[in-house]
Amino acid sequence: MLLSLEDARTPTHIGALLVLEGAPLLDASGHLRLEELRLRLERRLQRAPVLRKVLYRPGPFLGSPLWVDDATFAVERHILHAEIPAPGGEAQLLRLVEKLLSTLLERSKPLWELWFLTGLESGRIAVLVKLHHSIADGRAALRIFNALCDLAPDAAEPEEAPWSPRPPPSPGRLFVDNLAVKGAALARGVRRLAHPVVLARSVASGGRTLVRSLRESQRAPRTSLNAPIGVSRRLAVMRMGLAEARDAAHARGAKVNDVMLALIAEGTRALLLHRGEPVEGVALVTSVAVSLRPPGDTGDLGNKTGQILVSLPMDLPEPEACLAAIAASTRAMKKRELAANSEHVIAWVGMSGLLRFLARRQHMMNFFESDLVGPPVPLYLLGARILEVTIANNLGGTVGLSFAILSYAGQLNLSVCADGERFPDLPVLAAEMERCWARLSRRHEPVEEGPSLFAP
């Protein structure tokens, strides 16, 4: 379904930007040991076999596309290197990452790339991972990430295991399997017809869900934030301590994600005011990603994400009041029910071939938000300590603004991904979020969180 949404303007991959210690990845002359790093990472792919799978489209009457082993897999097509322009600060790093995120992943090969980005003035090395959202949602992507990393710098290397790609199923097997799937679907339909009361309730429930979704679409205000997106991207990153964010939330009877939503609300409010747009009586709507995986789920990868729609007030200039309103709203929601229902509606729309058409014309939401809990302890990639991790969400349709929150080793990063053409004023939003965080964390002025990761 996500693949059907994708075109040149709407890549549906997600990005993870890591900053690592540089020395363990460099040779004696200070150059990246790229070939060695490729070989070492290739050994780790046995822990994440999905990274060797490619999308295979059978012929007519042979069923839906499926993931199969890539018989032509070559690690050098996936693990790549680029140089950060001088002077090698955070601004130059983000501009390069924006450019790399703007390009589609090739469907003729497994849908991921890992870029080593050298040239940071601090001597550290950045790594950008691009992973298609059809392969993994946030929680599944974290499992892949953990599989490639170690808990210690001197962890034992995985034993080299020969890999032979399994051929795709034969046309005969696919034809029989497709008949079985269609037959099972037909049998389910017949059973439902035999129980008209249950069928009527199911249809009514789906209808109510669709009506509720349409009502939500009328609630999302039309602002300059929403328009068909272009190909370029713009990024901004905000950092804070996880313990500090928890303290700020719990002191007000809220959750950490409520605090993040309050920062987002105040930032977008400042952006609307900067653009001369009204905020009085306005409540923007954000789609908050909700995992539909049961607790402890370690099953298949893939994307199992629903959504809830949360209204964010634009007419509360005080962060405290904004946070209180958002916390009260999120407490009142039946998240699991709404998320599951939204998944069914979106799945139906996707199967009916309307998803891309509707995405470019939707008025249900103004922007996206997702919140992920990452590893609580430092991890190491090929012996280099990972100092921080930032997520870059994808955009889609008329949604040109997306926020992602990830905790890692005691740090919380809030990243903003925006359409580069429509958001040249993104720094206005980012600066207001910083100012509001200073207020909520009981500071009078924004302060540095510590030494920069990007400067010597």
In the chain, where the domains are located: 2-153, 219-374+395-440
Sign of the alpha-carbon torsion through 432, 437, 443, 449:
negative
φ and ψ at residue 28, rounded to 5 degrees? -65, -25
Closest to 381 measured CA to CA, from 45, 146, 159: 146
Answer left, alpha or beta for residue 77, where phi above 0 means left and psi between -120 and 50 means alpha. Answer: alpha
- Residue 313: the pLDDT is 97
- Terminal-to-terminal C-alpha distance of the chain: 45
Model confidence at 444: pLDDT above 50: no
Q: What's the pLDDT band for 300 if we cut at 50, 70, 90?
A: low
Do 267 and 432 contact (CB within 8 A), yes or no? yes
Looking at per-residue confidence, does 117 or 355 come out higher?
A: 117
Q: Which of 359-363, 413-417, 430-434 has the lowest mean pLDDT?
A: 359-363
In the block, tokens 């994400």 appear at: 305
Count of CB atoms within 10 A of residue 50's CB?
20
* Geometric angle at alpha carbon 180, from 177 and 185, rounded to 5°: 130
Do 327 and 258 contact (CB within 8 A), yes or no? yes
In the block, tokens 């017949």 appear at: 190
Do 424 and 38 contact (CB within 8 A), yes or no? no
Q: What's the average model confidence in pLDDT over 78-82?
A: 98
Do 409 and 20 contact (CB within 8 A), yes or no? no
Model confidence at 223: pLDDT above 90: yes
* Geometric angle at alpha carbon 305, from 299 and 306, rounded to 5°: 140
Most confident of the ranges 31-45, 152-166, 202-216: 31-45
Q: What's the pLDDT band for 62 if we cut at 50, 70, 90?
A: confident
- Residue 433: the pLDDT is 98
- For 444, which DSSP code? S
Model confidence at 259: pLDDT above 50: yes
Q: Is the link from the previous residue into 87 a cis peptide, with omega within 30 of 0?
A: yes
Q: In sequence order, which residues have a C-beta less than 8 Å from that of residue 43 and are 6 or more positions away?
A: 157, 158, 159, 160, 161
- Residue 349: the pLDDT is 46
Model confidence at 301: pLDDT above 60: no
Q: What's the average model confidence in pLDDT over 14-27?
A: 97
Looking at per-residue confidence, does 244 or 230 come out higher?
A: 244
Q: How far is CA 191 from CA 99, 187, 241, 334, in A?
A: 52, 6, 54, 30
Strands 401-408 and 367-373: parallel
Determine the Cα–Cα distance for residues 174 and 180; give it in Å rounded to an integer. 10
Model confidence at 302: pLDDT above 80: no
Q: What's the average model confidence in pLDDT over 424-450?
A: 82
Model confidence at 345: pLDDT above 50: no
Q: What's the average model confidence in pLDDT over 221-225?
A: 93
CATH 3.40.50.10710 fits 219-374+395-440, yes or no: no
- Residue 4: the pLDDT is 62
- Residue 101: the pLDDT is 95
- For 307, which DSSP code? E
In the block, tokens 């954000």 appear at: 286
Determine the Cα–Cα distance for residues 309 and 216; give it in Å rounded to an integer. 8
Based on C-alpha coordinates, what's the Rg of the chain? 23
Q: What's the pLDDT band for 443 if we cut at 50, 70, 90?
A: low
Determine the Cα–Cα distance for residues 291 and 394; give it in Å rounded to an integer. 17
CATH 2.60.40.10 fits 2-153, yes or no: no
Determine the Cα–Cα distance for residues 209 and 345; give it in Å rounded to an integer. 7
Q: What percent of the chain is predicted at pLDDT more than 70?
A: 76
Q: Which two tokens stand for residue 169?
A: 């199923």
- Residue 341: the pLDDT is 45
Determine the Cα–Cα distance for residues 331 and 7; give it in Å rounded to an integer. 37
In the block, tokens 């059809």 appear at: 134
Return the half-sphere exposure (C-beta side, CA atoms, 13 A cut-off) of residue 317. Answer: 5
- Residue 60: the pLDDT is 76
- Residue 215: the pLDDT is 54
Do 271 and 299 contact (CB within 8 A), yes or no? no
Q: Which two tokens stand for residue 136?
A: 């993994």
* 2-153 against 219-374+395-440: fold identical: yes
- Residue 84: the pLDDT is 98
Determine the Cα–Cα distance for residues 204 and 158; give it in Å rounded to an integer. 54
Most confident of the ranges 33-37, 54-58, 158-162: 33-37
Q: What's the pLDDT band for 295 if we cut at 50, 70, 90?
A: low
Determine the Cα–Cα distance for residues 41 and 22; give it in Å rounded to an integer. 17
Q: In sequence order, which residues have a C-beta less than 8 Å from that of residue 108 and are 6 or more positions away?
A: 54
Output the average pLDDT for the chain: 83
- Residue 450: the pLDDT is 46
Model confidence at 370: pLDDT above 80: yes
Model confidence at 414: pLDDT above 80: yes
Do 111 and 132 contact (CB within 8 A), yes or no? yes
- Residue 451: the pLDDT is 47
Model confidence at 43: pLDDT above 60: yes
In 242-383, DSSP assigns E strands to 283-291, 305-313, 367-373, 380-381
Strands 112-118 and 79-83: parallel
Determine the Cα–Cα distance for residues 408 and 149; give it in Å rounded to an integer. 13
Q: Which of 45-49, 169-173, 261-265, 351-355 has the lowest mean pLDDT?
A: 351-355
- Residue 56: the pLDDT is 84
Q: In sequence order, which residues have a C-beta less than 8 Å from that of residue 449 and are 6 or more positions away?
A: 239, 240, 241
- Residue 190: the pLDDT is 53
